[in-house]
Every structure is written in structure tokens, then in C-alpha cells.
Structure 1
Amino acid sequence: MIEPRIALVGAGWVVRNVWAPLLVQHNAHIVSVIDPQTDASTAFPAMSPGPRWHRCMSDQALHNCNLALICSPNVHHVQQALRAMGQGLHVILEKPACLSSADAEQLIRCSRETGAELLVSAAAAHRSDVRAMAAARGALGTLHCIDVSWRRRRGVPRPGSWFTQASQALAGSGADLGWHLLEVALHALDYPLIDAALCNHVPATADEAQQQATWRGDQGPGGAIEVESQSFSCLQARGGTLVRMSTAWASHQEHDETRITLYGSAGELCLRTTFGFSQNRIQQPSLTLTVDGTQTSLAFAAEDNLAPYRDFLGSRIASLGTCAQTREHEYRKLRSLASAMSALYPHLTPSCTARPGH
């Protein structure tokens, strides 16, 4: 096991409140914080010694680090990951890792050539309810279709920030919330490639700029939303299975809800819960197996919102650079998810997504 010496690329809400505290719990040393925002220099006052602060990625910023956690605006993910791996650092890429199959192949090729590990953050697959669903997958027979949805009541991430700027985020709720949903759906199918998609990406209305995700503690009156706030799509996986997906940062429903339904030849499996950190949650999550008209409730362990991230780090950091099987699995997962993003956003060519890092 390596001793993790971390370069945090991006110092936004999820880094400060999720990744950094959990990395410290896993005895990682945060050496460097790379973020152009001036408040990033004082983002981690409790750490001693405090991390170095750098406005942009450079040789100096990555010096004495062996792992980069990349949580920057989406447009920079590919080039920053390539640069970090080129300097011998293992990389954990926050979602969406990339938005085209060509970029995925570039990342995989760099990982192979440098020997650096390339991990895609995968908290959804480490949830206790999702693991219980995966354990029951064998009762369904052949899967014909998977429905996945994550629809928030009021949950736009920082209107006017990079999350909602087309030049920085590249895509909206379909890539933000949808990446988590597809991570679960495509895992159930053993990560096939996606061959085609039919999509309706819905532009945000003017009033949605006021429907901020309050649990983030964002301040300000909001700003323009240039990417889609809702997305409806149907994706065809290689082999024929359909994945139907719906995402919304803001909607008319009462609670923020995530629903995943697997339709098989021998039964159906439905998970109703809430992913993420919203406090407007489904209060009684449920997992139900239906076979021949009979419904059976399946149990799963209760857990806090950080548990999936904690489990992901615990299972991945310990084996960094040591397990070839894990590496090939990550490549397969990245190819599958990137093919879905390519089908959902065909206008985002590699030349759009591969821009110089900051």
C-alpha cells in the first residue's frame, strides 16, 4: 500500500465537505490544493501542516504528490488527468470523468503507458441499497430494460457558477446526476458500450436560477443556467437492453427522489431512495422484488451520506498500483460510461472536451 500524498485539484463544496475529511481519515496527507479561487488558500485551516496552494496545475503544484483527486470544472478533467498521470501520479477523477469515448481512450492509453492508476469516483455503486440491489440481480433472469431517474425538487448547483456555464460544465443534469445513475445501470449490465441514444435535454427556465441546492450553503441571488436543467433519454446498450433515464435539478415533485427499476424475464426489482446530500429526502427508502405478482421487501443497512464515499476510498486506496484486475475493470467502466455520454451529448467532440488544464 502506498502512503497517499494528495494533490486536490479543485476546492469546491464536495472537496471541502466530503473528499478532504475522508482522505484524512484514511491517513492521506494533503500536500497541495490547486484552485484559482483565492479562498482555496484557506479552505482547510484545521490541517497541520497546511497544504500548499496553487492557482493552476504545474510541476511545482504536483511536486511530492503521488495521487491527484480531480474535482475541477468538467472541461479540465481530461487534460489535468493526463498531466498528472504523465508525472507519475495515480488519478481519481470525479464525475463526469469525460464526455466522449475518444477522451476515454486517451485517458486509458496514458494510464497504460505511464503505469499510473486511473480511477473514476463511484460512490453510487458503494451504497448499501445499491449493493443489496446488485445482490438480488440474479433473481431477475435476463434484463430487458432498466429505468433510472434522479429528480430534485429544488437542487440547482450554484446557479451562475461553472456548474451552469456551458463553457465549463459542458453539460447539465444529464451528466451531473445522470453519471451516478448510469454507473448503477451499466454496472448491472457488466458495463457494455452504448450504441445509440434518443434524448430531450430541456433548457432551464428563468425562475430555476432561484431554485438552488440549499444544502450546499451557496450564497447569492443566482445567475444564468446555460446547460440543461432536465434531461430525458433512452439509451440502447450493446446486446439490446434499454436504459431509460430522467434527471432534473428542479422539478414539481415533493421530494428529491432517486428511483431505479430493473425489468427482467423472471422478475422486477425497484429501489426508491435519494442519492446525494439533499435534506429533502425520501424518508423510508425501499427495495422491492416482484416475481409473478408477489412483492417482497428486501432489507439493506442504514448508513450516513458519507458512507459510500468512505467505502470507495477504503477499497481503492489500499490497492493503488497493485491490482491489474482492478485496473482493467476501471478501463471497462470508463469506456462504458463515456460511450453513454457520447451518445447523450454527440455535439461535444473531443476537441471541445480536451482543453488545457488550469
Structure 2
Amino acid sequence: MIEPRIALVGAGWVVRNVWAPLLVQHNAHIVSVIDPQTDASTAFPAMSPGPRWHRCMSDQALHNCNLALICSPNVHHVQQALRAMGQGLHVILEKPACLSSADAEQLIRCSRETGAELLVSAAAAHRSDVRAMAAARGALGTLHCIDVSWRRRRGVPRPGSWFTQASQALAGSGADLGWHLLEVALHALDYPLIDAALCNHVPATADEAQQQATWRGDQGPGGAIEVESQSFSCLQARGGTLVRMSTAWASHQEHDETRITLYGSAGELCLRTTVGFSQNRIQQPSLTLTVDGTQTSLAFAAEDNLAPYRDFLGSRIASLGTCAQTREHEYRKLRSLASAMSALYPHLTPSCTARPGH
């Protein structure tokens, strides 16, 4: 077991409120914060000694670190992960890890060559309701189709920021919310490759810039949204199973709602809940198994919003760099998710990635 010495690449909301506190709980030492924003230098006042602050990734920024958590704008993920692994650091990539199969293969090749662990953050699969769904999967027989949707009432992430700029985010809700949904759907299918997709990425309307995610506490008026706010797609997994997906940062719904339905030869399984940190949540989440016209409610443990992230870190940090089986599983997962992103966004290629060091 290594003693984690962390380089935080990006110091935005999810790092400050989720990842950094949980890493400290797991006895990690945050050594370095890499973010061009000046306020990142004082983002963690309670830490003693405080981490170093660097505006960009460099040898100095990664010095004395053995694990990089990459939560930067999407366009930089691949090159920053390659740079960190090239210096011998293990890497945790926040979603979406990458948006093309070619980039996934480049990341996997670098991980193999350097011996550095490559982990894709997977909080959704560690939720108690999703684990209960996975435990009941065997009752469904052969899976024919999976429906996944995550539609928010008002939940655009910081309009006008990198989240909504095409040059930085590369894609919108289909990659942001869709990555979590596909993580669950493709896990249920043992992470197959996606062979094809039909998509309708819906551009944001002008008024959606005012429908920002209130739980983030962002200040100031909204800016332009250059990526899709809604996405509707049908993906075909290798083997024939269909995955139908719907995402929305803003919609006409009363509550922010996530639905996952598995259709099998022997039954159907439906989860209704709210993924993420929204305060406009489904008040009574449910998991229902339907077989031959009979519905059965399945129980799952109540948990706080940080629990899936805590569980993910707890299951991964202790074994970093020691388990070949875990490493191959991560490669399979990344290939599957990246193939879905390639099918959803065929116009994005490895040439979209940023220059090293950013």
C-alpha cells in the first residue's frame, strides 16, 4: 500500500467540496494544487502544511507526488494524464475521462509502459441503489435494452465557464451527465464496446443560461452555452443490446430525476432516484423488480451524497499499483465508455486534445 501524495489538477467545486476532503479522510497528503486561477492558491486554508500552488502542470508541480487527481477542463484530461503517468504518478481521471477511443488507447498504452495505475472515477457504480440493482440483475435473464435518463429542472453548471465552452468542455450534458449513466448501463453489460449510435444533441436556448445549478453556489449572471444542454441517443452495444439515453441540464420537469430501467427476458428492473448533488431531488427513491405482472420493491441503504465517492476511493487507493486484475478491469471500462463517447461525438478526434503541460 502506498502513502498517497496527491497532485490536484484543477481546484474547482467538486475538488474543493468532494475529492479533497475525502482524500484527507483516507490519509492522503495533498502536496500540490495545479490550477491557473489565482484563488486556487488559497483553496484549502485548513490544510497544514498547505499544498504548493502551480498555475500549470510541470515537473516541479508533480515533484514528490505519486497520485494525480485530474479534474481540469475536459480538453486537457488526456495530455495531463499522459504527462503525470510519464513521470511515474498513478492517475485518477474525473469524468468524462476522454471522448474518443483513440485517446483511450493512448492512455492505456502509457499506463502499460510506465506501470502507472489509470483509474476512471466511478462514483455512480458505487451508489447503494445501483449496487442493489446490480445484485438483482441475475433475475432478469438476457438483457435486451437499457433505458437511462438524467434530467434536471435547473442544473446548468456555471454558464459561461469552461463547462459550457465548446473549446474547453468539447461536449455538453451528453458527456457530463451521460458518462455517469453509461457507467451504470455498460457495467450491467460487463463493459462491451459500443458499435454505433443515433444522436440528437439539442443546442441550449438563450434563457437556459439563467438556469444554473444552484447547489454549486456560483455567483454572477450566466454566460453563453456553446455545447448541448440536452441529448437524446440510442447506442448499440457489441452483442446487440441497446442503450437508450436522455440527458438534460435544464428541462420542464418538476424535480431533478434519474431513471435506469433494465429490460430482460425474465423481468424488468427500474430505479428512480436523483444522482449527484442537486437539492431538488426525488424524495422517495425506488427500485422495483417486475416479473410476469408482479411488482416487488427492493430495499437499498440510505446514504449521503458523498458516500459513493468515499466508497470508490476506499476500494481503490489501498490497492494502487498492486492488483493486475483491477488494472485490466479499468482498461476494459475505459475502452467501453470511450467507445460510447466516440459514437456520441464522432466529430471529436484526438486532435481536439490540448498541448502537453496545460
> Do both share a fold (TM > 0.5)?
yes
Output the CA distance in 2 between the equivalents of 1:348 and 1:105.
15
Output the CA distance in 2 between the equivalents of 1:352 and 1:156.
23
The Cα offsets for residues 283-329 of structure 1, whole Å up to 9 and x where unpaired, read as 00000000000000000000000000000000000000000000000
Output the CA distance in 1 between the equivalents of 2:357 and 2:246.
31
Output the CA distance in 1 between the equivalents of 2:245 and 2:105.
25
Output the CA distance in 2 between the equivalents of 1:344 and 1:134.
25
Residues 58 and 357, structure 2, Cα contact 8 Å, conserved in 1: no
Cα deviation, residue 353, structure 1 = 2.6
Residues 77 and 357, structure 1, Cα contact 8 Å, conserved in 2: no
Alignment: residue pair count: 358
Residues 166 and 226, structure 2, Cα contact 8 Å, conserved in 1: yes
Output the CA distance in 2 between the equivalents of 1:353 and 1:332.
22
SS of structure 1 residue aligned to 2:299: coil
SS of structure 2 residue aligned to 1:145: strand
Residues 83 and 356, structure 2, Cα contact 8 Å, conserved in 1: no
Q: Structure 1 residues 357 and 172 mapped into 2: Cα distance closer, same or farther (>3 Å)?
A: farther
- 4+ residue stretches of structure 1 with deviation over 6 A? none
Residues 5 and 64, structure 1, Cα contact 8 Å, conserved in 2: yes
Output the CA distance in 2 between the equivalents of 1:291 and 1:185.
20
Residues 148 and 259, structure 2, Cα contact 8 Å, conserved in 1: yes
SS of structure 2 residue aligned to 1:136: helix
Residues 263 and 269, structure 1, Cα contact 8 Å, conserved in 2: yes
Residues 120 and 330, structure 1, Cα contact 8 Å, conserved in 2: yes
Residues 22 and 310, structure 2, Cα contact 8 Å, conserved in 1: yes
* Residue aligning to 1:296: 296
SS of structure 1 residue aligned to 2:174: helix
SS of structure 2 residue aligned to 1:148: strand
User: What is the alpha-carbon root mean square deviation over aligned residues?
Assistant: 0.5
Residues 151 and 257, structure 1, Cα contact 8 Å, conserved in 2: yes
Output the CA distance in 2 between the equivalents of 1:253 and 1:73.
28
Output the CA distance in 2 between the equivalents of 1:321 and 1:150.
34
Cα deviation, residue 354, structure 1 = 4.9
Cα deviation, residue 356, structure 1 = 2.9
Instruction: Answer yes or no: is 1:75 the counterpart of 2:75.
Output: yes
Output the CA distance in 2 between the equivalents of 1:303 and 1:78.
33
Output the CA distance in 1 between the equivalents of 2:20 and 2:301.
25
Give identity over the alignment, percent: 100
The Cα offsets for residues 254-295 of structure 1, whole Å up to 9 and x where unpaired, read as 000000000000000000000000000000000000000000
Within-5 A mapping of 1:25-104: 25-104=25-104
The Cα offsets for residues 207-244 of structure 1, whole Å up to 9 and x where unpaired, read as 00000000000001010000000000000000000000
Output the CA distance in 2 between the equivalents of 1:323 and 1:106.
21
Output the CA distance in 2 between the equivalents of 1:262 and 1:42.
45
Q: TM-score, normalised by structure 2?
A: 1.00
Q: Structure 1 residues 55 and 354 mapped into 2: Cα distance closer, same or farther (>3 Å)?
A: closer
Residues 7 and 67, structure 2, Cα contact 8 Å, conserved in 1: yes
Q: Structure 1 residues 94 and 268 mapped into 2: Cα distance closer, same or farther (>3 Å)?
A: same
Residues 196 and 343, structure 2, Cα contact 8 Å, conserved in 1: yes
SS of structure 1 residue aligned to 2:319: coil
The Cα offsets for residues 118-165 of structure 1, whole Å up to 9 and x where unpaired, read as 000000000000000000000000000000000000000000000000
Output the CA distance in 1 between the equivalents of 2:190 and 2:19.
27
Output the CA distance in 1 between the equivalents of 2:289 and 2:10.
41
Residues 261 and 268, structure 1, Cα contact 8 Å, conserved in 2: yes
Output the CA distance in 2 between the equivalents of 1:285 and 1:29.
36
Output the CA distance in 2 between the equivalents of 1:354 and 1:219.
28
Residues 149 and 260, structure 1, Cα contact 8 Å, conserved in 2: yes
The Cα offsets for residues 81-130 of structure 1, whole Å up to 9 and x where unpaired, read as 00000000000000000000000000000000000000000000000000
Residues 75 and 355, structure 1, Cα contact 8 Å, conserved in 2: no
Residues 98 and 353, structure 1, Cα contact 8 Å, conserved in 2: no
Output the CA distance in 2 between the equivalents of 1:354 and 1:340.
21
Output the CA distance in 2 between the equivalents of 1:315 and 1:308.
11
Output the CA distance in 2 between the equivalents of 1:220 and 1:347.
33
Residues 2 and 320, structure 1, Cα contact 8 Å, conserved in 2: yes
Residues 150 and 248, structure 2, Cα contact 8 Å, conserved in 1: yes
Output the CA distance in 2 between the equivalents of 1:229 and 1:357.
30
Output the CA distance in 2 between the equivalents of 1:341 and 1:172.
12
Q: TM-score, normalised by structure 1?
A: 1.00
Output the CA distance in 2 between the equivalents of 1:15 and 1:220.
21
Output the CA distance in 2 between the equivalents of 1:10 and 1:357.
13
Output the CA distance in 2 between the equivalents of 1:52 and 1:351.
32
SS of structure 2 residue aligned to 1:8: strand
Output the CA distance in 2 between the equivalents of 1:32 and 1:192.
36
Output the CA distance in 2 between the equivalents of 1:148 and 1:335.
20
Residues 77 and 93, structure 1, Cα contact 8 Å, conserved in 2: yes
Output the CA distance in 1 between the equivalents of 2:349 and 2:126.
31
Structure 1: gaps (5+ residues):
none
SS of structure 2 residue aligned to 1:318: helix
Residues 10 and 71, structure 1, Cα contact 8 Å, conserved in 2: yes
Cα deviation, residue 357, structure 1 = 3.6
Residues 81 and 93, structure 2, Cα contact 8 Å, conserved in 1: yes
